[in-house]
Structure 1
Amino acid sequence: MTSQRPYRTTARAARSPHVFLLAAVACAVALGWTYWAFVRTTTGQFADESAWQEAGVAAPDTQLPFLRFLDTLPVISVVLAAAAILYVVVRRQRYLAASIAVAVIGTSNLTTQVLKNLVFDRPDRGIATLDFNSLPSGHTTLAASAAAAVFIIMPPRWRPFAAAMGGAYSVLAGVATFINLWHRPADVVAALLVVGTWTLVGGLIIMRTGDGWNNWQGFGRGWASARGWLAGCWLVGLGSLVVSGVLYFAVQAIGPAPVPGTATLPLFFWWGLTWIVGVGFTLSAAAGWLFSAQARRTPAPERRP
């Protein structure tokens, strides 16, 4: 015969709100740096443009499948987000959480459009490129914000899994826009950072206003809360960022081609691809870890014979 020892909550959800705010500021600063480094400077423009041009040569056979995915991406994103939000409204009756999730989607996409069309411009640095600004990517923002909305309204035990799947979906959308020559790598990374900023703000509000259901008994309380989801994101994300950095500095040391996209080896393409993957999965891992660490601490009940 077993009996359960009474247990109680040890800390409220989002007990350190400044961590969320500092992380949001860090994402915003990284967004500004991405714009300055790869749009405002000659070296950055050349690298970004070279990666874009090399994508058409390095991965020509993947463009049609990714194009089909991009055509349906808005519908997929809306359906995924709507299904999750409707579930928490109808089944869980978490109306405020659903409203905040919708706001994260709306503010992320509005921010992207305002930045791209009204705030950021693309100066002429002598690089043969399109003369209009395309940073941040709208398609990537839509996909990533839909994934973020699902993530923040999930109960804590589901968030490790939601972080990994949302990161994979966001990266897939970003890579698709890059390979199909819709956007340069910096456009995609900037979109991920826009969504990351608003996810942290919205997530903080959801955790503080939903303290009752944002309780966490630790990793391993079911397959969705296994540590492996976040460990995999950290491994892929940080590993890809290291590879991306090595490729970028290697091609700069070797000497880039005189004209974007004319190099013998498409090193800029692989730099851009690993940069997107690295940022996407690192943000997902960091969000999954932060939201788990800052959930309401509810120790699991102890069983005694």
Structure 2
Amino acid sequence: MSPSKPTSSGRTLTPWYGALVLLGALFWAAYTFFVHTKLGQWIDEAALLGGEAFLAADKTRRPALAFLDYMPAASALLAGGFILFALLRRRDFLRPAVAGLLLLGATGTTQLLKHVLLTRPDLNISAASVNSFPSGHTTFAAAAMAAIFIVVPVTHRPPVALLGWAYAALAGASTLVLGWHRPGDVIAAYLVVAWWSVAAGLFLRHAHGSEVDRRKHSAAPRSLSERMLGFLAWAGAVAVAAAMGLALLLPHPVIGTVGDRSLFLFLAVGLALVLGTAMVVGWLVFELFARYGSPIRRRLVRGMK
């Protein structure tokens, strides 16, 4: 009797391709709404003005500013350290290369989109007409954490995913607090990094052949980190839906005449959108790797599919 063949790759690859399409569509929807519609620009600008009005005190801004000042260097050192460890100690050459390409691809994509491909029309909402979509700082923070996620052992991925996307959420919220970026810019950064993370996982899935045993994954008890990721994703989805509903229901007068109470509400809306999106996107990436990712192997499978 011939040995059993691995499960057909077609069905297990479909979620990866579906996620790439979904994330691309969500990015385009976010760009269209937050940048090319008056309502989207108004919500984005009101959240930014709310941060400037209520979180402009030195005691509030100083921690956020300090975090963003050190964040690029800290992120680069963390990601570089983990990639180097995987390369030298574990002699794993493929995953460090993929992680490095993920980091470069995500940050390069953001810069290309922001400075070359995408534009911000002047809809008489904001005095700033220069495109800031997506956020570069947020992209770098999230991409560095995604690179670490790629190279760590499978058993360590749940806490790395939890801490990494919490770090990315904090980076995005800090850019809003400081008035560097609008919520839409931060959301776009998360989607760019998630897209590149999924692309990296799909490449590894092709390179390493057979997938993780989904039955074993579903039967195994969930760790505390996995349960927390699931809870935060659920709470984040509720927060995003509630924030968007509130933003659409509230009045939208001329942006310069918005009162303090409304600015505070739109600041809360912006923070909910930023933090909620980070948790939902982080959970999506983690679940794809956990359910359909490939086991870590030192060598490629012969004849990549």
Q: TM-score w.r.t. structure 1 length?
A: 0.86
Higher relative contact order (CA 8 A, sep 6+): 1
Match of 2:44 in 1: 48
Equivalent position SS for 1:160: helix
Matches of 1:220 and 1:261 in 2, distance apart? 56
Deviation at 1:81, TM superposition (A): 0.6
- Alignment-derived partner of residue 240 in structure 2: 244
Residue number in structure 2 paired with 1:132: 130
The residue aligned with 2:54 is 58
Residue identity (%): 30
User: How far off its partner does 1:154 sit?
Assistant: 2.1
Q: 208-217 or 147-156: which moved more?
A: 208-217
Please tell me the residue identity of whatever aligns with 2:233: G
Q: Distance in 1 between matches of 2:162 and 2:107?
A: 22
| Partner Cα distance (1:239, 1:208) in 2 | 33
Corresponding position of 1:234: 230
Task: Give TM-score scaled by structure 2 length.
Answer: 0.86
Distance in 1 (alpha carbons) for counterparts of 2:35 and 2:225: 34
Deviation at 1:178, TM superposition (A): 1.0
Superposition RMSD on alpha carbons, in Å?
2.7
**Amino acid across the alignment from 1:31:** F
When structure 1 is superposed on structure 2, of 286-295 and 169-178 the one drifting more is: 286-295
The residue type paired with residue 197 of structure 1 is W
Judge conservation of contact 1:215–1:296 (CA < 8 Å) in 2. Answer: no
Partner of 1:3: none
Relative to structure 1, the CA distance from residue 280 to residue 260 in structure 2 (aligned partners, 3 Å threshold; closer, same or farther) is farther
Aligned length: 288
CA shift at 1:166, angstroms?
1.0
Where structure 2 has 5 or more consecutive residues not aligned to the other structure, the ranges are: 296-305
Inter-partner Cα distance in structure 2 for 1:171 and 1:261: 30
2:179 maps to 181
Is the contact between residue 241 and residue 274 of structure 1 (CA under 8 Å) also seen in structure 2? no
1:89-119 CA-to-partner distances (Å, cap 9, x unmatched) read 1111111111111000111011100100111
Deviations 1:226-275 (A, max 9, x none): 43323322322332332333233334323134325833321111111011
CA, structure 1 residues 13+169, in 2 after alignment: closer, same or farther (shift >3 Å)?
A: farther
Contact 1:144/1:166 (<8 A) preserved: yes
Structure 1: where are the runs of 5+ without partners? Answer: 1-7, 298-305
Is the Cα contact below 8 Å between 2:208 and 2:294 reproduced in 1?
A: no
* Distance change >3 Å, CA 12–CA 100, structure 1 → 2: farther
Aligned to 2:162: 164
Partner of 2:299: none
**From 277, 284, 293, the counterpart of 1:279:** 277
Q: Using the TM superposition, name which of 212-221 and 16-25 deviates more.
A: 212-221
* Bigger proportion of residues as helix: 2
In structure 1, how many angstroms separate the alpha carbons of the residues matched to 2:82 and 2:43? 39
